Amino acid sequence: MTDIFGIPLPALMGQLTLGLINGAFYAVLSLGLTVIFGMLRVINFTHGAQFTLGAFGAWMLLNYFKIPYWVSLVIMPLVMAVLGALVERLLLKRLYEMNHLFQLLLTFGLAQMIEGTLAVVYGSSGKPYDNPMPGGVDLGFMFLPYYRGWVVVASLSACLVTWWAIERTRLGAYLRASTDNPELVRTFGIPVPHLMTMTYAFGVALAALAGVLAGPIDQVKPSMGSGLIITVFAVVVIGGVGSIMGSIVTGFALGLLESLTKVYYPPASSVVIFLVMAIVILAKPTGLFGRQP
């Protein structure tokens, strides 16, 4: 059996696959956060809870209404987008002019309420969600479960479609311009407040999509989002706040880095991303892909 620096190849590839999966979640979640921050200048601390709601929503649809995974994958992002739009319209919108602390309190408070409610109703131990794509394929050097492959493909597609929509379409140009100078964009007759609502809804939909994808990988539990979101914030900072491609590349790269650390020096695996964050902040405060101000 081939070893790479003392690690058997299948074990290494297995870890790398895990890293790729984690990276996929980092990428999709940090993409949503960065899109929301760019347009609204709000750090969405509810993002993790919205991810969790995506997963729980899929679980509820399956268990109460027998609605299968593939349908939930479409329905939940749409439902969460509507809820997100309501949150922006009814609550967040009132806070744009105020100190950022109030936005933090609102979004963090919402996250606590969502997680707390889910924990009371469903318990904190977690619910299983059946794998919709059992089985896998032997690639020779490793065994790849179909579902894990699907998660990476689906996440990467969501990221690339988002990148294309923002960097290559007219609506995306409105968004980018509004990120630079929202007032001037409004003088061109473009309804920036509506764009802000749509952007928040879209970011929340991405979180929900990631949540539905995550359900079958692990268990569906109230704390699944808050566990992930701390790392995702670090990913956003490393990639550069507001950078679309930065979020995608950094998300996947840090997932891989984390899993490599798990293989070669496990004790460091939980801190390596934060170590990178500290170094990046010291060396390039705008992040790896951020624009210099």
Partner 1 sequence: MTATCAAIEIKGLQGYYGPSHVLHGIDLRVPAGQVVTLLGRNGAGKTTTLRAIMGLLRQRVGSIRINGKETIGLPPERISPIGIAYCPEERGIFPSLNVRENLMLPPVLMPGGFSTDEVIAMFPRLAERFNSPGTKLSGGEQQMLAIARILRNGCKILLLDEPTEGLAPVIVQQIGDVIQELKRRGYTVLLVEQRLDFAMSVADLHYVVEHGCVVAQFSNDELLAEPGRLQKYLGV
Binding site for partner 1 (CB under 8 A): 170, 173-174, 176-177, 179-181, 183-193, 291
According to DSSP, residue 291 is labeled P
> In terms of CB distance, is 14 or 172 closer to partner 1?
172
- Least separation in angstroms between residue 196's CB and partner 1 is 12
Cβ nearer to partner 1, comparing 35 with 79: 35
Q: Is 50 helix (H, G, I), strand (E, B) or coil?
A: helix
CB of 90 to partner 1, least distance (A): 19
Of residues 8 and 191, the one with the C-beta less far from partner 1: 191
Cβ contact 57:208 at 8 Å: yes
In the complex with partner 1, the residue whose CB is nearer, 127 or 186, is 186
Identify the three-state secondary structure at position 42.
coil
Q: Nearer to partner 1 by C-beta: 48 or 182? A: 182
As measured in angstroms, the least distance from the Cβ of 174 to partner 1 is 7
Give the burial class of 55: count Cβ atoms within 10 A of its Cβ; 0-12 exposed, 13-18 middle, 19 or more buried: buried
Task: Kindly state the smallest distance separating residue 141's Cβ from partner 1, in Å.
Answer: 42
Least CB distance to partner 1 at residue 182 (A):
10
Contact assessment for residue 224 and residue 55, using Cβ atoms and an 8 Å cutoff: yes
Cα-Cα-Cα-Cα torsion 125, 130, 132, 138, nearest 10 degrees, comes to: 90
Q: How far lies 164's CA from each of 103, 158, 209, in Å?
A: 29, 10, 18
